[in-house]
Amino acid sequence: MKKANQLLHESSPYLLQHAYNPVDWHPWNAASLQLAQQTNRMLLVSIGYSACHWCHVMEHESFENEYVAGLMNQNFVCIKVDREERPDVDHLFMDAVQLLGIRGGWPLNCFALPGGMPVWGGTYFRTDQWIDVLQQMADYWQNKAGALIEQANKIKEALQTQQKKIHHFHPFDDDPGLLHELIEQGKHGFDVVHGGFGGAPKFPMPDALMFYLASGQILEDEFLLNHVDRSLMKMTSGGIYDQIGGGFARYAVDSRWHIPHFEKMLYDNAQLVKLFSEAFGYFRKDHFRMVALETINFVLRELYGDEGLFLSALDADSEGVEGKYYVWTALEAEEVLGDRAPVFMQWFGIGKEAAWEHDFNVLVTPIPKADFCEKHAIPPPDFDNLLAEAKHKLFVRRTQRIRPGLDDKRILGWNALMISALCRAYDVFGETTHLHFAEKAMRFIRQNMYNPSGGYFRTWKNGIAKIPAFLDDYSLTISALTDLYQSSLDESLVMHALELAEFANTHFRDDESGLFFLAERENTELAVNPLETYDHVIPSSNAVMGLAMAKLGLLAGRNDYLEHSKRMLQSQKEQMNNHPGSHTHWGQLYLFLEQQPMLLISGPGAKMACRSIRKKLPALVVTAATETESALAVFEGKTLSNELHYLYCDSKGCRMAVFTEEQALETIGLKEKK
């Protein structure tokens, strides 16, 4: 019988996967660092996540190998980290590795001094390579410890210098062309053939597309709008979109969206729901509505907990094989589809565009529906019905396979992303169930993830909330609270958002820069507390915080929040110019602060009027509504009358009140779409 290590008492599915490795794994905590210092052993920190294919490979090859485990246990205090639980640890070690000129990724395997300062690391190692690395690092610590200490000090100094470089202040008043420059430089990264950004591997990057969609509308830039449209259409015709069950894989390994890395993450699908909902609001394409709703259905079907929170991820692997759950042979598809097989095998590209490896197909939809219907002389409504039937048959057959592994921990920030997505879907499509799920999740968070010592916990599972929340959790939750207020008009949500903003200001704020640390200042064991400003697949926690505080500042009448957001944005001007593709959420903050668009609706029927007009407004426009009295500061000094009226305000001031939705849209500068 295998002996368990220290991970047996953890709740993370990723850590539990390693609980019976012969490696004497420890979780990242103060006790593990203390053990390293007491025994004068280096730390070996191995970072990954449950849906990571190459993490599984290295575990099977090396961490389950008794000889390799013996080398690790003898020479190091071995620590396993779930990067989704501890983004601060992952951020520190990833930055250190990249400073050394080594490409980052997961699994991330690093060595550190007993106190926790990184020295060296890499990603996946074959077993023979890993043995060599272990022996060399052990020898260095035994015989050349001074060189390793010197290296760690240099890395620490470089990280601290790097953090200081990310906040140089530049007044925006002297540079009205910043937005133009950000967009024009960003265009160089567009893939004008397949959509999206760059070549392989290709990530959807939904928040960047949100920025270009908003910018395209404000600037009336058809090139930007066409790029967003093309990107969404190409993406959803590829294998990265699950043509049978809905939802998106994390990325495609090719440039044309065909072959996904099959893991499905909550944070991707949440942001893509919001993007496709917003895109439908502008383009009015039924296809975008379908994708948004299918993706919501996927999340509710496969990433939803009974208590009302959303689960983290589905693995890329099933039965130890990447993608096995999702792929099809022509023979199996023919068997399932029966007499409709010739038509729908062509629709899904089976044997041609969908062909992958080993006679497997990753389903795509290579031919536009209108062209396909014309070619086969099928009226589009009839085709829709036949397609739904074919997809149902394939879906039922697929459910008989062994499912991929499920990471069932609930992460605060990722749930906040899904709450915001459901709110936007509700605003655009008017499905009350979407608002219901968003409200239920937020209620559970407030009741069950609250930290008695203040603030929130990051994760919840099996009735236990743990790990103090990080800046991304707070910024995304503040954003979700303001989104949920605008959809539900429950003013208590704004009050709670203010409480969280004050908590973040007290415990995370760096007074020198005005930015926010990733971990609480007084609650971290890290040698360098990261300042996260670059957007990745999830936008940077500081950019999210800046935009959340700006919107909250309008709703709550907090000019100090608006000024703070401006200061944060000013600190990023140089970085936005140098790295436009990784600062698009800062670009959204720029758009918002330039305009500060807000629509106030008051009087009889104001709440119903607000719900109606929000279907037609871009997400960037903040709305508030009250029928009688309001506790929100934004309504102070605004005359409430017995007649429904709309008051539009922006950075230039407030316009004259108007009395119909059509007049309100005209005041804002929007035309009602039929």
Query: Could you tell me which residues come within 8 angstroms of residue 393 by beta carbon, excluding any fewer than 6 positions away?
Result: 336, 337
Q: Is 653 left (phi over 0), alpha (psi -120 to 50) or beta?
A: left
- Pairing type for strands 321-322 and 317-318 reads antiparallel
Asked if residue 515 lies in contact with residue 531, where contact means CB atoms within 8 angstroms, the answer is: yes
Check pLDDT > 80 for residue 108: yes
Instruction: Report d(CA 442, CA 421) in Å as an integer.
Output: 13
Banded pLDDT at 77 (limits 50, 70, 90): very high
Instruction: Report d(CA 111, CA 75) in Å as an integer.
Output: 11
CATH topology match: 6-165 vs 172-319+407-595: no
Q: Beta-carbon neighbour count of residue 524 at 10 Å?
A: 18
Instruction: Report d(CA 13, CA 621) in Å as an integer.
Output: 40
Mean pLDDT of the chain: 94
Query: Could you tell me which residues come within 8 angstroms of residue 268 by beta carbon, excluding any fewer than 6 positions away?
Result: 204, 206, 248, 250, 537
Q: What is the pLDDT of residue 339?
A: 94
Identify the architecture of domain 172-319+407-595 in CATH: Alpha/alpha barrel (1.50)
Q: Among 47-51, 329-333, 417-421, name the one with the lowest average pLDDT.
A: 47-51
Banded pLDDT at 174 (limits 50, 70, 90): very low
Asked if residue 286 lies in contact with residue 232, where contact means CB atoms within 8 angstroms, the answer is: no
Check pLDDT > 80 for residue 56: yes
pTM of the model: 0.95
pLDDT tens, residue by residue, 463-474? 999 999 999 999
Instruction: Report d(CA 205, CA 197) in Å as an integer.
Output: 8
Asked if residue 22 lies in contact with residue 64, where contact means CB atoms within 8 angstroms, the answer is: yes
Query: Could you tell me which residues come within 8 angstroms of residue 412 by beta carbon, excluding any fewer than 6 positions away?
Result: 445, 449, 456, 457, 458, 459, 460, 469, 473, 476, 477
Q: What is the pLDDT of residue 161?
A: 87
Instruction: Report d(CA 475, CA 500) in Å as an integer.
Output: 9
Check pLDDT > 90 for residue 534: yes
Domain residue ranges of the chain, discontinuous segments joined by +: 6-165, 172-319+407-595, 326-400, 598-668
Q: What is the pLDDT of residue 55?
A: 92
Helix 178-187 / helix 222-237 crossing angle, nearest 10 deg: 40
Instruction: Report d(CA 199, CA 211) in Å as an integer.
Output: 20
By the 10 Å C-beta count (0-12 exposed, 13-18 middle, 19+ buried), 61 is classed as: middle
By the 10 Å C-beta count (0-12 exposed, 13-18 middle, 19+ buried), 2 is classed as: exposed
Q: What is the pLDDT of residue 172?
A: 52
pLDDT tens, residue by residue, 79-103? 999 999 999 999 999 999 999 999 8
* Residue bearing tokens 């002297």: 174
Asked if residue 230 lies in contact with residue 217, where contact means CB atoms within 8 angstroms, the answer is: no
Length of the chain, in residues: 674
3-state secondary structure 417-462: HHHHHHHHHHHHHCCHHHHHHHHHHHHHHHHHCECCCCCEEEEEEC
pLDDT tens, residue by residue, 240-277? 999 999 999 999 999 999 999 999 999 999 999 999 99
The token pair at 550 is 């700006």
Instruction: Report d(CA 108, CA 127) in Å as an integer.
Output: 15
Instruction: Report d(CA 325, CA 329) in Å as an integer.
Output: 12
> pLDDT > 70: what percent of the chain?
97
Average of per-residue pLDDT across 349-376: 96
Distances (CA, A) of 43 to 40, 236, 569: 9, 44, 37
Ramachandran angles phi, psi of 20, nearest 5°:
-115, 15
Q: What is the pLDDT of residue 163?
A: 83
Q: What is the pLDDT of residue 2?
A: 83
Instruction: Report d(CA 619, CA 143) in Å as an integer.
Output: 60
Banded pLDDT at 641 (limits 50, 70, 90): confident
Q: In this structure, which CATH number among 3.40.30.10, 3.30.160.20, 3.20.20.10, 3.40.640.10 belongs to the domain 6-165? A: 3.40.30.10
